[in-house]
Amino acid sequence: MHAVVRALFLSLILLLPVTASGPPVPVILDTDIGDDIDDALALALALQSPELDVRAVVTVLQHRQRRADLVWKILELYGRTDIPVGLGADQPLLTKPRTDSVRQAAALGPADRMPASKRHNGILLAIETCMNSPGKITWVAYGPLTNLAVTLKAEPRITRKVERFVLMNGVYFREGKVEYNTGRDPEAAQIVFNSGVPITAVGLDVTMKCRLSPEDMKKIENSNRPTVKFLRELIHIWQNGQPDALPILHDPLAVAVTFHPGFIRTVTGHVTVDTKGMTDLTYGRTIFQPDPSGTTQVATEVDARAFINFFLERLLRRPRPVVQIP
């Protein structure tokens, strides 16, 4: 009986507005799309969410042009090439750059290139988007935090124009673990967490609970929408011949809590990043100290099933019409 009641409750949640009435949240999306599959799924969720006004998408770290080509292809499929795309920082601040390729670019055809006339310098695009906005911008970063760190150093006034940073970054309650985005550029992460800007940090403590089930994957496999079919192709490339590998919605969760904070519970405090670790096991650790006066809210719990149902409902919809926002 409890299971039936819970299922009914969750189905009702999906029929209700997820935010109070009001204008969409203006956001910059900051992504290392093309590595794990969740970046592409996060972009799709953002484009399918009327609660968000996507002002710019910025890629980060190596092969940023191919990453931008992937972003552009998805924007084309959703009819959103009005959104500017920027090529962000090419290398982390101090750690060694990677040399491997962006495997999901294999889904792109010879003509799937972002036009040269549409390319922006990602750092300048982010600064201009924030500084020229009449209201504050929310910066949603679900890759290494190099772009944020460089922007904070290049234009310190940006802290007055950012409402908050929403990050898929860190692991806070598993001793000795280093999360990928933090580990790729620990110094950048430390700059961001020390910025004084309010932060919502969604880490592995909660995102690891958001794995799609085989039944969820069947819904994606059964869709004939061009948008979903392309995302499914990216998933197959990511699976690399292992069809039992199931995507974990790390980055889509960060996008969702930007406008639907009820999916998670958080605790407030301070985050310190270990930038002096002597081994890969400690370098890049995120150390959390609870403190009601802190500027960072760290996710401690997630209603994973409710979020996954919400994500799938949005993903499987037809692309939503573009609404011009004044």
Do residues 284 and 178 touch, judged by C-beta distance below 8 A? Answer: yes
* Residue 180 pLDDT > 90: yes
- Tokens representing 99? 């040399």
Rounded to the nearest 5 degrees, what angle is found at the Cα of 166, between the Cα atoms of 160 and 172? 120
What's the pTM value of the predicted model, to 2 decimals?
A: 0.91
Write down the mean pLDDT value for the chain.
Answer: 92
| Digit-coded pLDDT (tens) for 83-105 | 999 999 999 999 988 877 899 99
User: Given pLDDT bands bounded at 50, 70 and 90, which one contains residue 280?
Assistant: low
What pLDDT does residue 21 have?
58
Q: Which of 63, 120, 236, 250 is catalytic?
A: 250
User: Given pLDDT bands bounded at 50, 70 and 90, which one contains residue 324?
Assistant: low
Q: Distance between CA 125 and CA 145 in Å, rounded?
A: 16
- Structure-model confidence comparison of residues 48 and 282, the more confident one: 48
What pLDDT does residue 18 have?
47
Q: How far is CA 43 from CA 32, 70, 81, in A?
A: 11, 11, 13
User: Given pLDDT bands bounded at 50, 70 and 90, which one contains residue 246?
Assistant: very high
User: Given pLDDT bands bounded at 50, 70 and 90, which one contains residue 282?
Assistant: confident
Q: Distance between CA 287 and CA 51 in Å, rounded?
A: 32
Q: Distance between CA 141 and CA 252 in Å, rounded?
A: 11
Do residues 263 and 255 touch, judged by C-beta distance below 8 A? Answer: no
What pLDDT does residue 278 have?
63
User: Given pLDDT bands bounded at 50, 70 and 90, which one contains residue 276?
Assistant: confident
What pLDDT does residue 176 have?
76
Q: Distance between CA 5 and CA 20 in Å, rounded?
A: 25
**Spatial CA neighbour of 11 closest among 223, 262, 305, 315:** 305
Do residues 78 and 319 touch, judged by C-beta distance below 8 A? Answer: yes
Q: Distance between CA 27 and CA 20 in Å, rounded?
A: 17
The alpha carbon of 100 is separated from its chain's Cα centroid by a whole number of angstroms, namely 21
Is there a catalytic annotation at residue 260?
Answer: no
Yes or no: domain 24-315 corresponds to CATH 3.40.109.10: no
| Digit-coded pLDDT (tens) for 106-127 | 999 999 999 999 999 999 999 9
Q: Which amino acid is located at 203 in the chain?
A: G
Q: Which residue do the tokens 């004084």 mark?
A: 196
Q: Distance between CA 41 and CA 248 in Å, rounded?
A: 10
Work out the end-to-end distance of the chain between its first and last CA atoms, rounded to an integer number of angstroms.
Answer: 48
User: Between helices 38-47 and 226-239, what is the axis angle to 10°?
Assistant: 160
| Digit-coded pLDDT (tens) for 63-73 | 999 999 999 99
User: Given pLDDT bands bounded at 50, 70 and 90, which one contains residue 1?
Assistant: very low
